[in-house]
Amino acid sequence: MTILKLIIKEIAHRKIIFVLSMLAVVIAVAFYVLFFTAATAANRETTRLMRDIGFNIRIIPKQTDMGTFYLQGFSDETMPEDYVDVFATQKGIGYNHLVATLNGRTQYSGHNIIIRGLAPEICPPGKAKSPMVFAIEKGTVFIGHEVANLCDINKGSTIHIGNIDLTVAGILAESGSADDITMQCHLADAQAILNKPACINEIKAIDCLCFVPNDNPLSILREQLAELLPEGKVVQMQAIAKARSQQRRLVKNVFAMILPIVIIVCGLWIGILAMTNVRQRQEEIGLARALGYGSPTIMTLFFGRALITGLIGAVIGFAVGTFLALQFGPSIFTVTAKAIQPDYALLNISLIAAPAFAAVSSFIPVMIAVSQDPATTLRQQ
Amino acid sequence: MLAIENVIKTYHKRMGKINAIDGVSLDIAKGSFVVLNGPSGSGKTTLLMAIASMLHPSAGSVTIDGTDIYRLSAMQRARFRAANIGFIFQMFHLIPYLSIIENVLFAAGVTKTQNARSTAKEIIAQLSLTDRMHHRPSELSAGEKQRAAIARAMLNKPRLILADEPTGNLDPHNAEIVLGHLSDYNRQGGTVIVVTHGDQAKRYATRTIQMENGRVVADTAS
């Protein structure tokens, strides 16, 4: 009779212990799969939500009066438009999205408004990202809610401003911010309206700088940019950066705290059940010893059982964890709900890790089984 | 066939040293049916385990057919045991999740005995267990279980069968059947050593050894 057949027959005989051991593996694997799937979803969700909130940093002209900047929300100074290309092509500073803008005050139909010109968004080479701002074609304009109301502007109409004509591509929803009195157009059109050719007064960047505790990345970035963009200076939107990194760390911390506890508890659980199994099989071990079976065979019997427990537990655990992630994930991570998918890489990892986990958890009981004195065992029975 | 020379087995207990076997020397010839008799605690089972190569003596040697078994490595000793010694226990020690034929074949796992299955069936038939061959131990009577254990002990055609209280859990009728089978094996040339504290086995014995306090106090040929 083969060792495998012996293991299978023993499992079939002691179903309850096997099922309980497997349950421990299922729980450990399900938690692992659920957490990784959830963590990925949470990360994706955070990225999307934070991206929608705004930029990490703003690069503005060096001479900017910060009082005016904070009061009106943009700089009165300008810097060369090609700064954005210099930034985009440099090596050593990471970013995910870059947008060059030109903002300025002007009047339209007797009302004070803001003109905001947006250059096409730049992403790192080979890393196409979904745009953070809506793309604006040259010759078109998006009108803020308040301006549209005051000046009775409708979508599809044409407005004349600063000696150029722009077609209204859309009316923006009320935002309760300066955006309501803003006309957003292509950078080139804004430069024409504000008569500031080839100029910008802000580069907005996201994921250019991540908040790292006990470090001062802003100063590093400032040093690097001082060389690259001598007429620019960096302002970090720290609250956003902090919120962003804190949310990411929160997910990781929860994951890092709960998963080890689950794994330790499940490991102990398997170990105790393996010990019970060894105690139940003392007579069998003693007999096997008496009949000449060596320690490697005894170890194979118990580790083989643990490996089978781990393999079956891995498959069921993956299914359960994925089911839970798919079942409850979309209601938690509503923005990226559709992106929550089974991650089959986790199944591969589980198929290797779970049997190893079950075997490690059974190690002490197996060593006890191997070291049992058959003479003592057989006399005690 | 079997030479036991000045074997001592000492256990260190809280109240001091105890010699479970205290300088036992015996020569047992091939084809003997030896009954080791004595009260509980006399050392007869300890001596049996020492002969079985499962209990390393504190001193002395055990030689089977010229092989000093405690000079072998653990692995060599296990193989030697599998090939040369058959065991029968009072509690049968059948594996509960295997059928009777599988239990018998379990003994061939190490020796890789040729035609093990057909041999097992023959022995099972000799022991009148054919109709129980595919049953689990829990479905058998005590007598049937012990006969199954005898079949397992005989599968590898060992030179020596060691039986520890083989009739201890059996009624007199089944005890006779079991002893009869051991006697048959002995008549075919096998050597049998039976540990018991009863008298029933003595009728089959060619030699009876009486033990007390770890020592041989009487050694009688029948």
Give one DSSP letter per residue of A171-232, joined into a string: EPPP-SSGGGGEEEEEHHHHHHHTT-TTEESEEEEESSS---TTS-HHHHHHHHHHHH-TTE
pLDDT in tens, B107-127: 988 777 778 899 999 999 999
The span from the CA of B137 to the CA of B156, in Å, is: 21
Nearest Cα neighbor of B162 from B150, B144, B173 is B150
CA distance A32 to chain B (A): 35
- Beta bridge partners, A267, equal none
Tell which wins on pLDDT, A37 or B105: B105
Tell which wins on pLDDT, A175 or B25: B25
Q: What is the mean pLDDT of residues A315-336?
A: 83
Q: What is the mean pLDDT of residues A144-167?
A: 92
Tell which wins on pLDDT, A52 or A353: A353
Q: Is the pLDDT of residue A187 over 50?
A: yes
Does A16 touch chain B if contact means CB atoms closer than 8 Å? no
Does A94 touch chain B if contact means CB atoms closer than 8 Å? no
Which residues in chain B have Cβ-Cβ distances shorter than 8 Å to A285? none
Query: Which helix (H) or strand (E) element contains residue B3?
Result: strand B2-13
- What is the reported pLDDT for A131? 60
Which residues in chain B have Cβ-Cβ distances shorter than 8 Å to A293? 78, 82, 109-110
* Contact criterion met (CB below 8 Å) for B7 and B57: yes
Lowest pLDDT segment from A137-146, A193-202, B68-77, B110-119 = B110-119
Lowest pLDDT segment from A46-50, A61-65, A111-115, A262-266 = A46-50
Does A12 touch chain B if contact means CB atoms closer than 8 Å? yes
- DSSP state, A73? S
How far lies A315's CA from each of A19, A26, B112, in Å? 14, 8, 36
- Stretches where chain B sits below pLDDT 70 are none
Q: What is the mean pLDDT of residues A109-132?
A: 80
The span from the CA of A100 to the CA of B83, in Å, is: 87
pLDDT in tens, B197-221: 888 888 999 999 999 999 999 999 8
Segment 140-199 of chain A within 8 Å of chain B by CB? none
Segment 276-295 of chain A within 8 Å of chain B by CB? 283-284, 286-294
Q: What is the percent of chain A with per-residue pLDDT over 90, rounded to a whole number?
A: 34
Tokens, residue A305: 């059982």
Tell which wins on pLDDT, A256 or B93: B93
Query: Cβ of B91 and A12 within 8 Å?
Result: no
- What is the reported pLDDT for A213? 42
* ipTM score of complex: 0.86
CA distance B45 to chain A (A): 8
Query: Which helix (H) or strand (E) element contains residue A105?
Result: strand A97-108
- What is the reported pLDDT for A211? 40
CA distance A333 to chain B (A): 50
Q: Is the pLDDT of residue A54 over 60?
A: no
List the single best residue of B97, B138, B165 to mutate versus A (max A Cβ within 10 A).
Answer: B97
- What is the reported pLDDT for A373? 78
Tokens, residue A336: 């990226």
CA distance A3 to chain B (A): 9
List the single best residue of A291, A298, A300, A301 to mutate versus B (max B Cβ within 10 A).
Answer: A291
Nearest Cα neighbor of A160 from A191, A134, A181, A139 is A139
Which residues in chain A have Cβ-Cβ distances shorter than 8 Å to B89? 378, 381
Q: How many CB atoms lie within 10 A of CB A145?
A: 17
Which residues in chain B have Cβ-Cβ distances shorter than 8 Å to A298? none
DSSP string, B56-111: --SEEEEEETTEEGGGS-HHHHHHHHHHHEEEEETT----TTS-HHHHHHHTHHHH
- Beta bridge partners, A165, equal A160
How far lies A177's CA from each of A72, A145, A252, B119, in Å? 11, 10, 34, 94
Query: Cβ of B78 and A294 within 8 Å?
Result: yes
Query: Cβ of A379 and B45 within 8 Å?
Result: yes
Q: What is the mean pLDDT of residues A33-58?
A: 69
Q: How confident is the model at residue A335 (pLDDT cuts 50, 70, 90)?
A: low
CA distance B210 to chain A (A): 20
Count A/B contacts: CB-CB distance under 8 Å.
Answer: 71
Q: Is the pLDDT of residue A51 over 60?
A: no
Does B81 touch chain A if contact means CB atoms closer than 8 Å? yes
- What is the reported pLDDT for A46? 66
Query: In 3-state terms, what secondary structure has residue B160?
Result: strand
What is the Cβ-side half-sphere exposure of residue A28, based on CA atoms within 13 angstroms?
33
Tell which wins on pLDDT, A83 or A378: A83
The span from the CA of A108 to the CA of A90, in Å, is: 39
Which residues in chain B have Cβ-Cβ distances shorter than 8 Å to A12? 97
Q: Write the single-letter amino acid at A198.
A: A
Q: How confident is the model at residue A52 (pLDDT cuts 50, 70, 90)?
A: low
B2-13: strand order across its sheet: B16-28, B2-13, B59-64, B67-68
Q: How many CB atoms lie within 10 A of CB B188?
A: 10
